[in-house]
Amino acid sequence: MNSWFRFLLLLLAVPAITAGQGLGAQSIVASRIRVIVDNDFSGDPDGLFQLAHLLLSPSVDVRAIIGSHLRVGDGFDNSTMQADNAVKKAQELVQTMGLKITIPIIAGSNTAMPNDSTPVKSEAVKFIIREALRTDTQLPLYVLCGAGLTEMASALLTNPQIANKLTLVWIGGPEYTDLALPPPNYSTPEYNLNIDIAAARVVFNRTAVPIWQIPRNAYRQALLPYSLLLLKVKPQGKTGKYLSDVLERLMTRLQQYKLNIGETYVLGDSPLVLLTALQSSFEADPSSSEYVLRISPRITPQGTYEYNHAGRQIRVYNRLDIQLMFTDFFAKLELMNRP
């Protein structure tokens, strides 16, 4: 028996016991990455599903939750206080879940960047910088953005030194034409990119921050059937009912506007959990999903891609393990609500 195998048996025989975040009981799973969650929680409810899933994932240490803004006049929230409203929604979810955890929930900017060289100021930007510059931990830091990139871009402009101290995982951007075709009647610019084009231009064009991008063709794979919402989510206590009610209210509202979305809903922000909390055990990486290495494109003022000969390599995910993602989510909801 070689020494590595004996060491592995020893580790398996004497597991370290730690408190699993959000599971409400002792767990043998310890945090191995830090994350900051940045999302437009007053917008598309997919952000709330993603947040609930992440908070139930003991392998991640959620350092902060940032509520971010939407596009001006967005149909989900057409107010001028979108980031503040996002904070209220995140607080509402955390309270509903009844988690005995203390995580800062911070408002980002209520407006987009004025241009691609002027950062916005907010407590959220300060927090990203402080967390990235920590020297008292070896856990890698991921910033998970499910909407625009205002806070991330502003932090990078304010302190460029943080670029090599974190990985940005971003849900957003249109298809790369050699990888996928856009959907019928697609929007240009892509929804999340259009929230703050100037911020995307900062992150892609002016920084060297590592990027894991989940563009539209990939995040649209995260289809939750309404049947599974009813069977696997809604019966699971206050949290399941809360999430189901949010989505069903939206479905009813869309019917009033004569919009027929069928029997599935795109939970497009949930891949943020898949690519972080659900990385492989040894040689940790999102090994069940597929990506290509791509020279980072230049983002144009119109929100399209153009070739950038000086770009660095980024990951562009094109196939996601949706089964793993949803199976894990359903299981964690059920475990949370066991007596």
Give yes or no for residue 241 having a pLDDT over 90.
yes
Tens of pLDDT, residue by residue over 157-195, are 999 999 999 999 999 999 999 999 999 999 999 999 999
Q: Is 23 exposed, middle or buried (0-12, 13-18, 19+ CB in 10 A)?
A: middle
pTM score: 0.92
Handedness of CA 163, 169, 173, 178 (dihedral sign): positive
Give yes or no for residue 2 having a pLDDT over 70.
no
Give yes or no for residue 155 having a pLDDT over 70.
yes
Cα distance from N-terminal residue to C-terminal residue, the chain? 43
Tens of pLDDT, residue by residue over 18-30, are 333 445 444 799 9
Nearest to 28 by CA among 19, 41, 37: 19
What pLDDT does 284 receive? Answer: 97
What pLDDT does 234 receive? Answer: 98
Question: Phi and psi (nearest 5°) for 284?
Answer: -55, 130
Average predicted confidence (pLDDT) for the chain: 92
